[in-house]
Chain A
């Protein structure tokens, strides 16, 4: 009888251990690390403000700035390589342009810096084991999100870029990206950012995988009284699609064209 008890106890133990082998590796109390399927092409869908940059910005709740940050003027976009010679362009993403007022958005150069938020072209995501790569449809700086557990580099040894330094993890069915080291500039909703500002993004696909919610949270006690949060939506490019190429030739003078905001319909 004693032998039977030992056998039964050992058998139960074996079953428990074998069962455990098929459970996902997870720390006690940690959120689910299930990897959401984000791979493929996505196109931003904006429910408001279409056809008007200011309208898009207006759809974001205003950032609550610290009194010190509020005193500093909103940053203007600097011209990159172009016929404008790197001087500030007249496009200020935080300023309303009146109907009929011409302004230049590029200096004619085709080398754009990219950024953390997708533009109106599709963006494409691929998830390898130790990195998530997000690219746009042109030779702009890609987003390289390290998933291998590396820390951010000391900011004193990091030259700020338009996409910063990003590390990521999977949490509760979302890709969570933490970014620092961004170039100083503006943030939708009248916000600001410096290389020290921390951006947390949560990329969460819908249950059917066709929509993607991208939540942005900017946090910097020197700039914001409370974290500044908003979200953008994207729609998946359906199967069989492919990436386009936004061709641009700097030798073409029409690359440097003014934009004249059209009269808006009532």
Chain B
């Protein structure tokens, strides 16, 4: 009876171990992005119902003339296909390709915006003396539990589209904090933005975008064309609809 038990128990134990080995082998192979709560890699798209944006509370110093000047500046940037910059790039009409590595995250856009670089291997911003402001600024990030906290400064207040969702505009002194978190088992990416700028906002301005994960085999497309020398397009953008139609 003792011998029979061994004949059953040993193959059974070997079988269990084989299962453990196979599982361990699979654990070592790359898994699709998104299966890890601390990996936001994927193609992410913003739907019409993906924005929760309250109106910003602006300082009294932000006059109508200032807002008009910024609106004119942004219209010029769009007309001439300037690099859009942030936060406009995050409101992309196409999926955003977000890829997370060990030391850096890159976001790539399918329109005229430079890629965003978010550094995971720096805990402090670059020196102001060394960093030339850009349309995307200097972004550093760290994980706070399952939330990726991205801190951005050194955005150029004179380049690209400066409008901020909810009102106001970015300046070279703006400070932007984003909190990225995967929801619904990785199907949704929540990004809560908070802007601080004493010259623009009376108090920190917070809004949330929720992006949907694009299908697994989504294929990146050619960026949307932007031809600043297309006269028909220029007319469309700069004249009232009735005049542009003529």
Interface of A toward B, CB cutoff 8 Å: 3, 6, 10, 13-14, 17-18, 20-22, 24-25, 37, 39-40, 81-83, 85, 107-111, 124, 126-133, 135, 137-139, 141-142, 144, 147-148, 150, 153, 159, 161, 165, 239-240, 242-245, 247-251
Contacts and interface: CB of A to CB of B under 8 A. Distances in A.
Given A21-B24, A24-B28, A144 B14 contact: no
A25 B27 CA distance: 9
B32 A18 contact: no
Contacts of A132: 99
A128 B122 contact: no
B230 A81 contact: yes
A250 B228 contact: yes
Contacts, number: 166
Q: Secondary structure at chain B's binding surface: helix, strand, loop or mixed?
A: loop
A27 to B, nearest CB: 12
Contacts of A109: 81, 227-229
Interface string B191-230: 0000000000000000000000000110110110111111
A259 to B, nearest CB: 20
A129 B41 contact: yes
B108 A21 contact: no
Contact of B114 (A129, A137, A144): A137
B32 A243 contact: no
B219 A126 contact: no
Contacts of A85: 229
Given A40-B103, A130-B32, A243 B80 contact: no
B225 to A, nearest CB: 7
B238 to A, nearest CB: 13
Interface string B1-40: 0000010001001100110110011101111110000010
Majority DSSP secondary structure for residues of A touching B: loop
B172 interface: no
B198 to A, nearest CB: 26
A240 B220 CA distance: 30
B186 interface: no
Contacts of B25: 20-21, 25
Interface residues of B, number: 65
B176 interface: no
B41 A131 contact: yes
Contacts of A242: 117, 119, 126, 131, 138
Given A81-B81, A81-B227, A85-B229, 9 more contacts: A111-B225, A128-B33, A131-B99, A139-B223, A147-B30, A242-B117, A245-B136, A250-B228, A251-B76
Interface in B119-172: 119, 121-122, 126, 131-132, 134-136, 138, 159
A12 to B, nearest CB: 11
9 contacts: A24-B28, A81-B228, A110-B112, A128-B39, A129-B30, A130-B32, A242-B131, A242-B138, A247-B134
A40 B30 CA distance: 20
